[in-house]
Structure 1
Amino acid sequence: MSEPPAELTIGELAQRSGVATSALRFYERQGLISSRRTSGNQRRYPRAMLRVVAFVRASHHLGIPLEVIGGVLDFLPEGAAPDQAFWQRASQCWSTELNQRIEKLECLRDRFTECIGCGCLSFEQCVLVNPGDVLAAQGPGPARLIND
């Protein structure tokens, strides 16, 4: 069996990672992944980039913004692939933020459940949630939902 190539073309990286070439170019512009250019100006990615792309996709799927993912990737030595220890450190950094997000979503779910129960769905007109539209003084938008 032959040794796999040390570098991948953008098409090979896209096929192996399941990420469109346009997304890979975007990730590269954002500094999340890197490549070298051949004399013909074609991108060549080290094999380790497969794990970096997997890390970016998994992190982004959790709702972590790409900017934050990039900040964590800055701690990864150049050319190194994220390993289990790296993922554990990253997830420790994000667990507080994720828990806060979960808490906020649970609060929103509970509020919407209560609101849907009465059927009016109008915070402006609801005499139970916002009598006399007193929340209008706090400015536009759903004041109770965004200020908690």
Structure 2
Amino acid sequence: MSITAFTRSVSDVAAESGVAPSAVRFYEQHGVITAIRTQGDQRRFDDSAACRIRVAKVAQRVGLTVREIAEIFAALPADPQPDDWGRVATTLIDEAESRTAALKAYLTDMRGGGRLCEIEV
């Protein structure tokens, strides 16, 4: 991807993704999105930054850490296409289903009336 594709400012990405500017910087710091610096040392992001943040917010609701999300996004090309996002969706769905199954098992164990400290985690 060429440098000219990095045209969005922190405030642009914040507005497009529905987060505060500080969150944009947080996601960049943790590798969820990537910026380049202008000669004036301002961050500039590509067109996928807001989408990546919105997907990251969903992934966080599933229970993934920012580090796990950054690892998933590391496999994305610079200009993700629908098939690329489809693979991310499959990963998130699989993770959500796995975590849901584990939570249901914990609920069953907690309802069993046994000692909570004996539940296997």
The TM-score range, normalised by the shorter chain, is: 0.7 to 0.9
The equivalent residue for 2:30 is 30
Q: 1:106 aligns with which of 84, 88, 104?
A: 104
Residues 1-148 of structure 1: pairs in structure 2 closer than 5 A: 7-78=7-78, 80-81=79-80, 83-115=81-113, 129-130=114-115, 142-145=116-119, 147-148=120-121
Aligned partner of 2:89: which letter?
S
Structure 1 gaps of 5+ residues are: 116-128, 131-141
Q: Which consecutive residues of structure 2, in runs of 5 or more, have no partner in the other structure?
A: none
TM-score normalised by the chain length of structure 2: 0.78
Cα RMSD for the two superposed structures: 2.4
Q: CA deviation at 1:96?
A: 4.1
Aligned length in residues: 117
Say which structure is richer in helix. 2
- TM-score of the aligned structures, taking structure 1 as reference length: 0.66
- Residues of 1 paired with 2:94 and 2:18: CA distance? 30
Identity across the alignment (%):
24
Q: Against the structure 1 CA distance between its residues 19 and 32, is the aligned structure 2 distance closer, same or farther, given a 3 Å change threshold?
A: same
**Alpha-carbon distance between aligned partners in 2 of 1:32 and 1:6, rounded to the nearest angstrom:** 15
